Amino acid sequence: MKYKKENIFTLKEVADFLTVPVPNLVYLSNNMHKNIRESKKLKKGSLTDMRTITAPSKNLKAVLRLVKSQILSTYSFRSYVYGLGGNTLKQHASIHEGNKEIIQVDLTDFYPSIKHDMVYKMWIEVFEISPEAARILTRITTMGGGLKQGFPTSSHIAGIVAEEFTSSIDDYCGTNNLKFTQYVDDLNISGIDVDLRMVFKTIISLGRVHRLTIKRKKTKVNSRLDGKTITGVALFNQQTRATKEVRNRAVGALRDLASSPKDEHYRNRASGYLGFLKHLNRRDGNRYAKLRDDIINSKIN
């Protein structure tokens, strides 16, 4: 059954809709500390800075996936949003073709800024769910007072809560001859002969208005004329392909597969990269498919 605002309201109706018993939802909401595992990992490109990885338990992840697929995924995002509303990564990247400068902002940087009260307000005002049900849903989709990377629901919630902010960026870009897109957690602004410093200052100001903090050091500014990288996609001469970093990871997946060709996880991982490469560049995808198939066939035969 597709979610409609008139279909669910009370906690019991939410539970019935998700096919999760009310006691299970209440238990998870009261015992989140028992249903997550946190670990530290070095941030990319750093030898000292650590980031916290939050992994939900099997039961919590299953419920969060239901919340995402049955409720959050029914939300109609604006036309500049890709990845959350069905538009493809290639379509997203192609919007910026031909532009010389681009600013990229990672929306996951906003996660600590998206507090539980914002999420609670979203459940009530956007999805028109009762306060009791909204409290339960807020408790199981946030941790430590805000959103967490690693929760299946975080990207959708961030996109919805931050929509006033992103729509203000879209309005600003529309009046200044700039292109703006959002791909899941990545915000991209591009143009020709752009005053990047002024654009970035404007983004920071708009973020402050909406209680969202932007980390300057993680914002990427690209003013090269020979090519651009957008969300793992390299744009060169009106063509798209996966970035070198992504292609290297795909090769690594093939090495893992070669070490254990019957391993289901390695097969699925290689197939995932195959789909990604083929979507962006058919030639790259066909080459990768041949390598993968050769590995599987040679090891089995």
Q: How do residues 109-134 score in pLDDT, each as one tens digit?
A: 778 888 999 999 999 999 999 999 99
- The closest of 196, 281, 193 to 235, measured between CA atoms, is 281
What's this model's pTM, rounded to 2 decimal places?
Answer: 0.75
Q: Is the pLDDT of residue 26 over 90?
A: yes
Tell me the chain's radius of gyration from C-alpha atoms: 21
Residue 223: other Cβ atoms inside 10 A: 11
Closest by Cα among 132, 145, 148, 127 to 67:
127
138-163 pLDDT per residue, tens: 999 999 888 988 899 999 999 999 99
Q: Which two tokens stand for residue 226?
A: 């020979």
Check the CA dihedral 54-14-62-155 and report its sign: negative
Confidence grade of residue 100 (pLDDT, cut at 50, 70, 90): confident
Given a cut of 90, is residue 231 above it in pLDDT?
A: no
Helix (H) or strand (E) run with residue 224 in it: none
How many whole angstroms separate alpha carbon 119 and alpha carbon 157?
A: 7
pLDDT of residue 55: 87
Residue 284 has pLDDT above 80, yes or no: yes
- Do 147 and 114 form a contact (C-beta atoms < 8 A)? yes
Confidence of residue 21 (pLDDT cuts 50, 70, 90): very high
The sign of the torsion formed by the CA atoms of 149, 153, 156, 160 equals negative
Per-chain mean pLDDT for the chain: 83
